[in-house]
Amino acid sequence: AQTVTQSQPEMSVQEAETVTLSCTYDTSESDYYLFWYKQPPSRQMILVIRQEAYKQQNATENRFSVNFQKAAKSFSLKISDSQLGDAAMYFCAYSLEGGSQGNLIFGKGTKLSVKP
Amino acid sequence: DTGVSQNPRHKITKRGQNVTFRCDPISEHNRLYWYRQTLGQGPEFLTYFQNEAQLEKSRLLSDRFSAERPKGSFSTLEIQRTEQGDSAMYLCASSRTGRTTDTQYFGPGTRLTVL
């Protein structure tokens, strides 16, 4: 069975600094999809970034980028120039069929605090 | 496009009562998912529909839980004879199949408290 592990329950970063959130996963599949979702307090979960396992190039979305290490089954999220609005729970997720077509398997999340 | 909506947002009930939640997906989305999120955990998959067909159910979905999507639009999740362990946030998400670049869009959730 596929599993997703986030080993950092909480992280803190100074505004304008860079922070990296860790995620590891376990799967025997070769094709799959990985995601980072953001869940602000009392607000709905939104997609931050996604990565297809068959792509070697790391995904980037503005200030958000990932370090995808397929052999190590590692998928970390880097947030550059952190802003107060980045404070939230961040969930790493795995899907076998792509975000639109398969159920997501989530990690336990990392609570990110941003200090002004 | 108003996004995924869920009602009610909060529900407090006594143990043993039945509760029903509603999810309205984004209008053109043919897939609808239900997840459960307990405190300090990530969401856990419960079930999903493609149009009106329920295609997969998690082992977490005991026989006290039933979900429907009668016309392939909104969905309801019913919990019968609620237990304190059912207290959680119930999340709904929807997506459109056909393009793997699409993603699941989540609603705000229904927070259930069983006393």
Test A109 with B100 for CB contact under 8 angstroms: no
User: Which residues of chain A neighbour B43 with C-beta distances below 8 Å?
Assistant: 45, 91, 104, 106
Q: Which of B41, B103, B105, B110 to mutate to test the interface with A (most CBs of A within 10 A)?
A: B103
Q: Among A29-33, B7-11, B16-20, where is mean pLDDT lowest?
A: A29-33
Predicted pLDDT of residue B68: 95
**Which residues of A lie closer than 8 Å to B, measured between beta carbons?**
4, 33, 35, 37, 43-47, 50, 52, 91, 93, 97-101, 103-109
Residue B101 confidence class, pLDDT cut points 50, 70, 90: low
Chain B contacts to A (CB-CB under 8 A)? 3-4, 31, 33, 35, 40-45, 48, 56, 58, 91, 95-104, 106-109
Q: What DSSP line would sit under chain B, residue for residue?
A: ----EEE-SEEEE-TT--EEEEEE--TT--EEEEEEE-TTS--EEEEEEETTEEEEE-TTS-TTEEEE-TTSS-EEEEESS--GGG-EEEEEEEE-TT-TT---EE---EEEEE-
**Whether the predicted pLDDT of B109 surpasses 90:** yes
How many angstroms separate the CA of residue A91 from the nearest CA in chain B? 7
Task: Using alpha carbons, list the distances in angstroms from residue A109 to A6, A83, B26, B76, B98.
Answer: 6, 19, 26, 27, 29
Test A104 with B43 for CB contact under 8 angstroms: yes
The tens digit of pLDDT for each residue in B25-80 reads 999 899 999 999 998 899 999 999 999 999 888 888 889 999 999 988 999 999 99
Q: CB of A78 within 8 A of CB of B81? A: no
A56-110 pLDDT, tens digit per residue, is 899 999 999 999 999 999 999 999 999 999 999 999 999 887 655 568 999 999 9
What the block records as the tokens of A73 is 């089954």
